[in-house]
Amino acid sequence: MVKTGVSLVVTICALIYPVHLLDNGLAQTPTMGWLHWERFMCNVDCVNDPHNCISEQLYMQMADIMVQEGWKEAGYEYVCIDDCWLAHERDSQDRLQPDPTRFPSGIKKLADYVHSKGLKLGIYQDVGNLTCAGYPGSHGYYDLDAETFADWGVDLLKFDGCNFGTLDILVEGYKNMSRALNSTGRNILYSCEWPLYLWPFHQPNYTDIRQYCNHWRNYGDVYDSWQSVKSIIDWTASHQNLIVPVAGPGGWNDPDMLVIGNFGLSWDQQVSQMAMWVIMAAPLLMSNDLRSIDSKSKMLLQNKHLIAINQDPLGRQGYRIGRVNSFDVWERPLSDGRYAFAVLNRQEIGGPRQFPLLLATLPSWKTCHPECRVTQILPSYQDLGVQNLFSALKLTINPSGTVLFTVTLNEGLAAEQKWNWNMTKKRKTPNSVF
Ligand code: GLA
């Protein structure tokens, strides 16, 4: 699929080592963009609700705003169509076609428009006979549909798994569509739901999935509610030993869309969703109305410190390191030996509670030996100064809220430590404190 330098290196490496990843060179960091489903669902009533129905106008407006309102600059790149864009029949040559009244200009024109804004276009299809909302699926047409998407200039395919028939069709269908996309020669990011549909039958083989998909949904659809967001976080924690090791540049676990800026989450819960998606190295696909989003939610979604953590080049997914007194503590290793931590207050009664965090108790305590710099990023940015192993941070966390902070080896001391270590090596006198 890819003709870039990255792909060349990957190909050369593949000759030397068996490389178990999708070699399209895409999604080196988690995908960022906007996806219509949670907010706009299958609203096809453009007569009574023209402003919110699934039509070319909706994506054009989102693309305009993504450029005008700083979303693109913050890193949000993909404008993605979900289910309900299709006409109910294929055309006379069996090619997919969009609903002619809602997409009168066609998808190619829409892709051109989105590209003219410096953004990318995502589209949706299904491995089975019908999409989840009952539109024609791709089964039996994987090559033709991949070619159609490539001809139109599509940049991402969300491939759903409804109505798959047999498990064989499900698994082979996901693999075949991956191969079909690769052979179009166009870079098309491949977003799968394969493990989600496999779980009711058996534990998915994630090494296999990673070889074919750029990200994959594991768990049910996100709703605009704290209950839903919590259930996704908890599922992820309870399966972390299985799913965290497979995540990394080129392939990510997808906990589904960000619903920040909608109706169902309180401010603290919006902070928590953002914090946890950042820690989980999740694709940041917002499903909200960018035309009317409030400024606080917008600032949260565009927070550059958070986006930098989500997009950290080390590409390691975070994990829960403990649950103490109804606080969940998560850690994510970052590049240059830094760490991000999130402490989520799970007690939904009473007021803000204090969580005393002794840095020496963290698995990554060495970052604070002899000293580290601690920076709180959520719920507000605050330099918490230079700390050491015996520092106890007093974090105050609202019910269902999260405090997110980073820990960095203190730079001056890091240099000094390195020097000391080199001297020690030269003198050949081991001098470890541990
Ligand atoms: C499934 C997917 C959702 C969405 C809908 C569309 O439920 O998991 O994300 O794509 O189908 O019908």
pLDDT band at 426; cut points 50, 70, 90 = very low
Q: Flag whether pLDDT at 8 surpasses 50.
A: no
Q: Residues with Cβ < 8 Å from 34, sequence gap 6 or more?
A: 62, 66, 71, 76, 78, 79, 80, 285, 286, 287, 288, 290
The protein residue whose alpha carbon is closest to atom 9 in ligand 1 is: 221
Q: Please tell me the predicted confidence (pLDDT) of residue 425.
A: 45
Q: Flag whether pLDDT at 29 surpasses 60.
A: yes
CA of 83 to the centre of ligand 1 (A): 7
40 lines ligand 1 (CB under 6 A): no
83 lines ligand 1 (CB under 6 A): yes
Q: pTM for the full model?
A: 0.91
**Across 59-80, average pLDDT:** 98
Out of 160, 256, 268, 312, which one is annotated catalytic?
Answer: 160
160 lines ligand 1 (CB under 6 A): yes
Q: Please tell me the predicted confidence (pLDDT) of residue 269.
A: 98
Distance CA 254, CA 169 (A): 22
The protein residue whose alpha carbon is closest to atom 11 in ligand 1 is: 132
The answer to whether the CB of 260 falls within 8 A of the CB of 289 is: no
pLDDT digits (tens, 9 = 90+) for 184-196: 999 999 999 999 9
CB atoms within 10 A of CB 46: 17
Q: Flag whether pLDDT at 415 surpasses 50.
A: yes
Ligand 1 atom at shortest distance from the alpha carbon of 82: 10
pLDDT digits (tens, 9 = 90+) for 249-284: 999 999 999 999 999 999 999 999 999 999 999 999
Q: Flag whether pLDDT at 62 surpasses 70.
A: yes
Q: Flag whether pLDDT at 423 surpasses 90.
A: no
**Across 338-347, average pLDDT:** 98
The protein residue whose alpha carbon is closest to atom 3 in ligand 1 is: 221
Place of tokens 């040559």: 93
112 lines ligand 1 (CB under 6 A): no
**Across 410-418, average pLDDT:** 59
Out of 64, 112, 143, 221, which one is annotated catalytic?
Answer: 221
Place of tokens 């407006």: 61
| Preceding omega of 333 cis (within 30 degrees of 0) | no
126 lines ligand 1 (CB under 6 A): no
CA of 132 to the centre of ligand 1 (A): 6
The protein residue whose alpha carbon is closest to atom 6 in ligand 1 is: 83
pLDDT band at 431; cut points 50, 70, 90 = very low
The answer to whether the CB of 340 falls within 8 A of the CB of 334 is: yes
The protein residue whose alpha carbon is closest to atom 12 in ligand 1 is: 132
**Across 334-360, average pLDDT:** 96
**Across 172-186, average pLDDT:** 97
**Across 101-114, average pLDDT:** 98
Kindly report the average pLDDT of the chain as a whole number: 91
Tokens encoding 213: 């998909």
81 lines ligand 1 (CB under 6 A): no
Tokens encoding 168: 């064989």
189 lines ligand 1 (CB under 6 A): no
Say how far residue 282 (Cα) sits from the centre of its chain. Answer: 3
Give 187 or 2, the one with higher predicted confidence.
Answer: 187
pLDDT digits (tens, 9 = 90+) for 77-86: 999 999 999 9
The protein residue whose alpha carbon is closest to atom 4 in ligand 1 is: 37
CA of 160 to the centre of ligand 1 (A): 7
Give 418 or 45, the one with higher predicted confidence.
Answer: 45
Pocket residue to mutate for ligand 1, from 34, 35, 36, 37, most atoms within 8 A of Cβ: 37
CA of 241 to the centre of ligand 1 (A): 26
82 lines ligand 1 (CB under 6 A): yes
Place of tokens 């609203």: 43
Proportion of the chain above pLDDT 70, given as a percent = 89
pLDDT digits (tens, 9 = 90+) for 206-253: 999 999 999 999 999 999 999 999 999 999 999 999 999 999 999 999
Q: Flag whether pLDDT at 198 surpasses 80.
A: yes
Strands (E), 207-299: 215-217, 252-254, 284-286
Q: Please tell me the predicted confidence (pLDDT) of residue 184.
A: 97
pLDDT band at 416; cut points 50, 70, 90 = low
Strands (E), 24-181: 32-35, 78-80, 120-126, 156-160
Pocket residue to mutate for ligand 1, from 164, 193, 194, most atoms within 8 A of Cβ: 193
The answer to whether residue 112 is catalytic is no
Distance CA 176, CA 164 (A): 14
**Across 69-83, average pLDDT:** 98
**Please, which contacts does 277-280 make with residues 24 or more away whose CB atoms are closer than 8 Å?**
277/310, 278/306, 278/307, 278/309, 278/310, 278/332, 278/340, 278/342, 278/404, 279/309, 279/318, 279/330, 279/331, 279/332, 279/340, 279/342, 279/404, 280/236, 280/253, 280/255, 280/317, 280/318, 280/332
Q: Lowest mean pLDDT of 45-49, 369-373, 422-426, name the range.
A: 422-426
Q: Flag whether pLDDT at 422 surpasses 70.
A: no
